[in-house]
Amino acid sequence: MAKVYISNVGMTKFGKRKESLQNLMNEAYVNSGPVHDSEIDAVFIGCMNPDEFVGDSNFATLIVDFLGLYQTPSVRIDNAPASGSAAFEQAFFSVAANHYKKVLVLAGEKMSDLPTKTTTRILSKLIDKYERSTGATMPALAALVTRRYMHEYGLSREELALAAVKNHYNGTLNPYAQFQKEIKIEDVLESKMISDPLRLFDCASIADGACAVILTSNKTDVKVTGIGHATDYLSLQYRDSLTSFNATKLAAKRAYLMANREPKDIDVAEVHDAFTILEIVNPEDLGFFKPGKGAAALVDGKTGLNGYLPINTSGGLKARGHPVGATGLAQICEIVWQLRGEADKRQISANIGLCHNIGGFVNNNIVTILEKC
Amino acid sequence: MQASTCSCGKTVILKRKLCPHCGKLMNSIELEDDAVVLTYTTLYTVPEGFKAPIFLVLAELKKGVKLLCGCKNENDLEIGRKGKIVIENEKYFFVGNPK
């Protein structure tokens, strides 16, 4: 298997954008730095639902045509909100297999063109058909998990709000973040109730944006050392636990095994905080903290920028933004910047970083480990 | 309550052909309607086609089976609350036992 390195990363500012999805992907590609188009062997595109969000299908061809990558092999990968990391994973395999030498990964989504109710309905299709027939939405499932976690571990509403407060602070230091404004615990507690006990500021919001990453078999300063992928039952009602997610645990185990690393080796992590409860549960499932201890780690500042394991230095899904298909690749961009010392005001000291991207309601998860070399 | 069970030990609510755990053929069984609330939420931002608010309960039945269903009475929203699952217009609802 060939060793796989990252040469270029780039992204657009996330948020409500007036440009088309293909223009956002082009912007991310240009922002990834000097690229020589003729050397790109293939393009892997992570995008969850261009058919419904922007009205285009055959999106892989549309993009290579738009970017002028005439005749370059291209494929679009939909893996729910883990489309970005799934495209990265497939691109990685193609280089690791020595089939391609240099590939471009693009990921993006444009969600803000539609009314919120329509976007909510589209996102609800990620849920099992029976479960969504009850009216359940993604925030509703997260709320069910939150309440059970509060019951089992005594998590308080204020502690939960701290996840959003921390990530909004990190977002103020990230020029690409959707929200670059600090918030207080009271702002979270006074925001609109979405699905009790989760409020508006507990949920990542609707956003547009795109990212670009170039993978190569030529040695660079950042190597991809581990990728783990696992699924769980589609239905929440089939799961063994309501306070821990097997798809994260297994994906992490596989990534650690491949990289020959342990949770204690990780210096920085981007985790999928689509809801505040996930900022607490994910680090537990990734092996950073024991079950029930994720909130204490947050409260004690262990996962803050000055902590021993900074989490979501980018601002996470909550503040950097969550254009669903783009998120997994945005996590990769952030970790590469941290490893290269290019994270500006949010820079921390790191040699090994981890990305954790969730598809569906925590049932198609990908964990990626990147190392400075 | 219609459920499906597999020789591997997995039992899930509703009729299902293949076991989601091991892929073997499942057998239909009838579950008692006794249930206890594991967790719940009141949903205010609802998808198109639904009226807010929606009371949702994730209940546990016999054999460790869980069911996501509606709930008509806000007073039944309490972790550990015991009750029964009723079916109305092909939809499942949790109804608490008299206190």
pLDDT in single tens digits along all 99 residues of chain B: 899 999 999 999 999 999 999 999 999 999 999 999 999 999 999 988 899 999 999 999 998 999 999 999 999 999 999 999 999 999 999 999 998
Mean per-residue pLDDT, A23-43? 90
Residue A214 backbone phi and psi in degrees, to 5: -110, 125
* CATH code where residue A53 lies: 3.40.47.10
Q: Cβ separation of A238 and B54 shorter than 8 Å?
A: no
Q: Cβ separation of A140 and B44 shorter than 8 Å?
A: no
Per residue in B49-73, pLDDT (tens digit) is 899 999 999 999 998 999 999 999 9
- Reported as a pLDDT band with limits 50, 70 and 90, residue A47 is very high
Dump the DSSP string for A322-360: --TTTHHHHHHHHHHHHHHT--GGG----SEEEEEEEET
Measured from the Cβ of residue A282, the count of other Cβ atoms closer than 10 Å reads 27
**Residue A335 pLDDT > 70:** yes
**Residue A35 pLDDT > 80:** no
B74 burial level (CB within 10 Å; 0-12, 13-18, 19+): exposed
Query: A-chain residues within 8 Å CB-CB of B91?
Result: 133-134
Q: Cβ separation of A195 and B42 shorter than 8 Å?
A: yes
Helix, strand, coil fractions of chain A, as percent rounded to 5: 40, 20, 40
**Residue A340 pLDDT > 90:** yes
How many domains does chain A fold into?
Answer: 1
Q: Cβ separation of B43 and A130 shorter than 8 Å?
A: no
Nearest CA in chain B to A131: B68
Of the candidates A75, A134, A354, the one whose C-alpha atom is nearest the C-alpha of residue B42 is A134
**Residue A37 pLDDT > 80:** no
pLDDT of res. A140: 97
H-helix or E-strand spanning residue A253:
helix A246-259
Mean per-residue pLDDT, A88-99? 98
- Reported as a pLDDT band with limits 50, 70 and 90, residue A50 is very high
pTM for this entry: 0.98
Domain ranges, ordered by start, for chain B: 1-30, 33-99
Q: Cβ separation of A118 and B48 shorter than 8 Å?
A: yes
pLDDT of res. A236: 97
Which of B49 and A165 is assigned the larger pLDDT? A165
Quote the CA–CA distance of A164 and A170 in Å, as a whole number: 10
Mean per-residue pLDDT, A310-318? 98
Quote the CA–CA distance of B35 and B80 in Å, as a whole number: 9
pLDDT of res. A82: 98
**Residue A32 pLDDT > 80:** yes
pLDDT of res. A159: 98
Q: Tell me whether residue A40 is in a domain.
A: yes
Residue A228 backbone phi and psi in degrees, to 5: -125, 140
Mean per-residue pLDDT, A136-161? 98
Q: Does the bond joining A50 to the residue before it have cis omega, within 30 degrees of 0?
A: no
pLDDT of res. A121: 86
Using CB atoms, which residue from B14, B39, B45 is nearest to A194? B45
Instruction: Decide yes or no: CATH 1.10.3720.10 for domain B33-99.
Output: no
- Reported as a pLDDT band with limits 50, 70 and 90, residue A36 is low
Quote the CA–CA distance of A163 and B91 in Å, as a whole number: 36
Q: Does A235 touch chain B (CB under 8 A)?
A: yes
**Domain, as residue range, for A69:** 5-114+209-216
Nearest CA in chain B to A235: B68
Provide the percentage of residues in chain A whose pLDDT is more than 70. Answer: 99
pLDDT of res. B99: 85
pLDDT of res. A75: 98
Q: Cβ separation of A136 and B43 shorter than 8 Å?
A: yes
Mean per-residue pLDDT, A74-92? 98
Q: Does ipTM come in above 0.95? A: yes
**Total beta-carbon pairs less than 8 A apart between chain A and chain B:** 99
pLDDT of res. B1: 87
Q: How far is B98 from chain A (nearest CA, A)?
A: 23
Mean pLDDT taken over chain A? 97
Q: Cβ separation of A144 and B39 shorter than 8 Å?
A: yes
